[in-house]
Structure 1
Amino acid sequence: MSNKNNKKQKQSSAFTFWIIGLVAVIIIGFIFLANGKKEDTAAYEIDYEAQPYVGDESAPVKIVEFGDYKCPVCKTFEENFFPSIKSELVDTGKAQFYFMNYSFINVDSTRSAKFAESVYQELGNETFWKFHELLFSKQPDDHKYEKEDIFTDDFLEKTLKEIANEADVKKVVASFKAGKSEEHWNKDMKTAEELAVSGTPSLFVNGQKFEGNTIDDLKKMVDEAAKGK
């Protein structure tokens, strides 16, 4: 089987049902249940330094999402599931949420991840999350685009211009072209490899992989992690 087929297979791993408001939303291929599960349930010591986050640093639990900006399931996660995490776990002070890159679909995945890292490094945490959300919102609904290069340098620059002034955009572009985000992206990819991440989105709670099916499962895992279980 080709590498391309393997990637497609990983991305379409079975996921589950989420209820958003009063509407039942079916998220197919939700890769919280990504294949290649680790048998070892011991928590992994993740290095959170210099990683974009939302939430109070004093929160007792840290949640990490490994994602790919080219992944349609990650877009679904961002739009339909992350708001629940933020309102029920982050805003309540129960958990701090981090995003790390696992870029595996194609060259766009790597390019957009490194550009987003440059946004974080040059413009800070708040602007990063604005760009993060905007970039997912611009992901085409037609999944055939996965084979195409659409997150070009020009596209990423124009996207950033929607939320940043000209001087800041130039600063980010210069940093990106100089390869200053390479080390940070490599760190994310190495962490993903050590955690045996095989698809996106994948969540970890205090260094332990989330294997549940619902938001309630995640809330339970966060509560248990807070108690040191």
Structure 2
Amino acid sequence: MTAIRSPFLAALAFPLALALSACGSGAEETGSLEGEAIAEIPAPEGQEWSDVVTVTEADGYLLGNPDAPIKVMEYASLTCPACAAFAQNGADQLKEEYVDTGRVSYELRNQIHAPHDLMLAQLVRCGADETYHPLSDQVWKNLQSVLGPVFERQEQFQQALALPEDQRFVAAAEVAGFYDFFAARGISEDQARSCLADFDAMTAIAENSTRQSNELGVTGTPTFFVNGSKLDTVNTWQALEPVLQRAGAR
């Protein structure tokens, strides 16, 4: 689990702390969930539940049946190796074997740990709502290559972040090579530059991260909730799947 580092201040303060956060455990798990087996719930005609995306009031991106009886919520950082491991080793199974049954919904919320994390959180929002989850998965599945230029060009990256508000993230993304990465995945450079120039929108993402993390006691990533129960000791698919099955997704 990647530990939180004062998200809003860490996202905007200088100089930039570029080292990856350490992994560690959180608070104790609140308890397991138990439930009877739940029948599959058909998706709207012509759709799969994994095609349905709802943006929640908390700025989370909920995939699947919004009325699913089992609700999974993950707080994740786009720079978190443990989150990347979940995306690589569990997210596809969660979507294909559970979300598509209509029994389970999967809401993803960003926790912001650093400026490049905030930039990525904005860039995965640049397209249609339906592209948020696939773009996030692409970042995690290519995490080393995505973050490599940020660490290799620390001085230039910090210099970019010292520019005026409407320029800093636009310039920093060029240093980081983010434009080419997202252009290859359907977000044009002009579109990405426009998103990163919206300082108010990015501030809102960071402030949501801080407020929600404080309110819900989220101290690191990934942190999973199932039907409102926080599962801080669960941060892999191998640990999460049995919780879903006990809750009725079987």
Relative to the length of structure 1, the TM-score reads 0.67
1:29-178 matched pairs, under 5 angstroms: 34-35=25-26, 37=27, 48-49=56-57, 50-104=59-113, 106-117=114-125, 119=126, 123-140=127-144, 152-154=172-174, 155-164=177-186, 166=188, 169-178=189-198
SS at match of 1:203: strand
Fraction of identical pairs, as percent: 21
Question: Residues of 2 paired with 1:142 and 1:115: CA distance?
Answer: 13
CA shift, 1:194, in A, is 1.7
SS at match of 1:91: helix
Gap change, CA 1:92 and 1:202, over 3 Å in 2: same
Which residue type is aligned with residue 78 of structure 1? A
Question: Residues of 1 paired with 2:215 and 2:93: CA distance?
Answer: 28
Question: Residues of 1 paired with 2:144 and 2:72: CA distance?
Answer: 27
Gaps of 5+ in 1: 14-33, 42-46
**Contact kept in structure 2, 1:66 and 1:100, CA below 8 Å:** yes
Gap change, CA 1:8 and 1:129, over 3 Å in 2: closer
**Contact kept in structure 1, 2:124 and 2:136, CA below 8 Å:** yes
CA shift, 1:96, in A, is 0.8
SS at match of 1:97: strand
Question: Residues of 1 paired with 2:77 and 2:234: CA distance?
Answer: 21
Write out the 4+ residue segments of structure 1 that deviate beyond 6 Å after TM superposition: 141-146
What is the Cα-based RMSD across aligned positions, in Å?
3.6
**Contact kept in structure 2, 1:101 and 1:189, CA below 8 Å:** no
Question: Residues of 1 paired with 2:237 and 2:95: CA distance?
Answer: 11
Q: Deviations over 1:187-227 (max 9, x none)?
A: 13321222222221111112211244775753453356569
Give the equivalent residue in structure 2 for 1:25: none
Task: Flag the structure with larger Rg.
Answer: 2
